[in-house]
Structure 1
Amino acid sequence: MLSSSPSRAALVGSALLCSALVLSGCSFFGRSAPKPAELGPNIPVIPVAQAWHAKMGKAANIVLDVHVNGNTVALASDSGEVLVLDARTGADIWRMNVGEPLSAGVGTDGRWSAVVSRGNQLITIEGGREIWRKSLPVQVFTAPLVAGNRVFVLAADRSVYAFDAASGQRLWTQQRPGESLILRQQGVLLPVGNTLVTGLAGRLIGFNPDDGSIRWEAPLASPRGTNDVERLVEIVGRTSRIGDNLCARAFQASVGCIDANRGAVIWTQTAKGSEGIDGDDKNLYGVESNGSVIAWKRSDGSRVWSSNRLLYRELTAPLVLGRSVVIGDSTGNVHMLSREDAAPLNRLTTDKSGIAAAPVAAADTLVVVTHDGGIFGFRPE
């Protein structure tokens, strides 16, 4: 059975297009970026302090997914650094360099860790030592999934690969027709019971992880528009899962929830965001591309609240943590908003280079990573 452990976006085609998070400010749209909303003074309602600070190489060009496994976090840098830290202290458990720049990482099950290089090499590590690498025929921007003694890869052309984690033997491949444009962004690749769930072209798809056969497909969005950019539809990470209820975002199109046991769509709602979502048993939380923060009811998708406090700040996907929704921004601030009404609860600062990936929580510690490679651990006082 597969284990069940719970980026900046850019469009990639024949040439790199502008950041999907700042489409309204791109030069080919003929407008300058709007001015971010003023934040005002920080009044800490929940007292939080920096507990530790660690450092790695820059994380400005890798599509980084900070992976939590128990009390540890796994990270990777642009230059090929891969490391596992103790979230209680920020100390290295192990750190190594794979010898070439990375495009995506990191996935781990606590034993094996996997990353993908810009040269399309899938590299698997055990205990800080490389054990094998395999060439892939296409770029990868989604961190590999390590689960059930296998390494799964979602490639940019919507192909899915499964490898034996110990030996590197390829077990199966599933190929879907490609599109002229793809997202340089974390996609969806996760285990739900004994089903491998991926996001492909606006659909969540459940695969049999043993042979790659498709068990179900659940559409969250369909291509629309008259050109390749307008018709681009992808499912983006992160997702929110409670039992068989799995909720996700389709890039610039919708958010929605499905029954992952049957592959049945429960609801979808129009939403214009490019980052993933998080949620609790009552609500889902997400950021729109203009910086609006929205909460939807998990049961039916109706809107609970919307906040414009963080407009035009290039926000990360949110993290639900305690009574807060935690969101990073492009200036290195980390915002803690109330799950009840989006009221500000605290604002944390890092090194001002911008938050490189969605925040995570491990060992009662909030962990955030910046583009300059700063790794910050925060805890309640």
Structure 2
Amino acid sequence: MKKIYLCLLTCLVWLMGNPMQQMIAYAEPSKEPEISAQAAILMDVASDRVLFAKNADQPMKVASLTKIMTAIIAIEKGELDQLVRVSPKAVGIEGSSIYLKAGDQVPLRTLLYGLMLRSGNDAAMAIAEHIGGSVEGFVYLMNEKATYLGLKNTHFMNPHGLDKPNHYSSAHDLAILTSYALKNPVFREIVKTKVIALPWPGETWRHKFYNKNKLLRMYSYADGVKTGFTKQAGRTLVTSATKNGQQLVAVTLNDPNDWLDSTKMFEYGFRSYQLVTPLHKGQVIVRKMKDKKPLELVAGEDFRYPLTADEKKHKRFQIQPIISYPLQLVDKENISVGSARIYLNDQLLGSVPLLVKRSTESTFFSKWKQILFSWMVQGDKS
């Protein structure tokens, strides 16, 4: 009996010492998580469907989560192996640093790891001056990108996130931005890195960057993204996690319990929603005729969407092809001629490109026509 009590006591102590396990232990199948963040959101990356939200559209200070935008712009516009010359202005910035020196020439790739793993404000400034020509030029690119992505409650004033009037975003906007960025393989690789050793200018040794994102070590499904803190913003965090092929993004703003709250949201999302694929890449949507020959219009990519168990019971998907390019002008395959819109119970979920494919049926019959024609010609000759 004593052994049983001792075993139970050991398990209890372990649970008390492991808040992540506590959360998993008491979670209920459909109950939304209770979190302490002032604002938060949980979003599915494949579809951008919001699975949980709390004050998600409230504009707030976001601290170093700003660097998610800085990173994706640098990745898209810069050359990763190009050397970046560090200016005195970049070195003089306050806050988190990777200890750059004026005159250093550092590969953009190294600066990006310093930016996202160590939250280097000096790295943010060096990147901004290199990509934008000036900090002001880079901030223009940041706000231009925010407009392109439809971020309605976001405005940037600097590339690092230090508190400044008129510098803000929302949990929802940050989730949209991060979902977009995670579709870039370079960004995805950087933010999931726990530690990396990279060459350092003027030194024979390699500089090690350890990721400040503790969730990468605390939660087995975590694979990104960025931490943040200022006195005005409080603790801010964007994290991502992938389980069974489903990737989710969690955002918490001004949250003293950010690690635990993010894990609660992930467990809720993975438990309550399951990805379904109503449309597969290459699936025939509609068949058309061109010059008396059949063409197949197919889905250009998979479309995946998360559903609850109850939604799966009553789901009714509809696919609507929208042809916006004249088929008579099509002269080769894999040309996008429109989109396929996906509806669930008459509600629009999203769309995928509609591509042209030659009908396999056409190829089959055309070969037989050629054979029959050759026989007829030979018969006439004889």
Task: Determine which structure has more spread, i.e. the larger CA radius of gyration.
Answer: 2
Task: Please indicate the TM-score interval, normalised by the length of the shorter structure.
Answer: under 0.3
Normalising by structure 1, we get a TM-score of: 0.24
More strand by share: 1
More helix by share: 2
Normalising by structure 2, we get a TM-score of: 0.24
